[in-house]
Structure formats: structure tokens, C-alpha cells
Amino acid sequence: MTADEKKSTRALVRPFEIVGFAAVLAVFVGLIVIYVTRNVQLMAIFAGAAFIAALMIFSLLALSLKPSKEDQQARESLSK
């Protein structure tokens, strides 16, 4: 695997990292709610809301970061 392929792979994996972090947070919230209330329907509502909120927050934070030189090079290699 060359350096360009490794950088472009990193750029491709980044959205899955954000979704993964949001899913882990949703599971954590769901476990807390099910432990406290013993209500599966309420757990599903809170876990879904936590997933959506975390996904939005993490995505907006990722957009606010200035891309590094490696990210810019990876984007240029993807557009070729």
C-alpha cells in the first residue's frame, strides 16, 4: 500500500468513525435508561435521540476543523 492509498483510505474511513462514535454513545445512553427505568420503549427513544444528536454534533465539529496537509493531499488524490 502506497502513502497516497493510505491517506485516501483515512479520508474514506472518517465518516464511519463519526457514525461509530455516535453509535457507541447511543448504546451507552440506552443502557443507562434501561437500567434506570426498565422501559424498553423509553430506552429506544432516548438511544435514538442520543444517536442523532451525537451524529450532528460530531459532524459539525469535524466540519469546523481546518484540514491538515495530509487531508488536503488525500482529497486531491480522491478527486483525480
Residue numbers of the chain with a pLDDT score lower than 50: none
> Given this model, what pLDDT does residue 50 score?
98
**CA distances for 74 relative to 5, 15, 20, 50, 64, angstroms:** 8, 14, 22, 31, 18
> Given this model, what pLDDT does residue 69 score?
82
DSSP labels, 63-78 = HHSPP-HHHHHHHHHH
> Given this model, what pLDDT does residue 66 score?
78
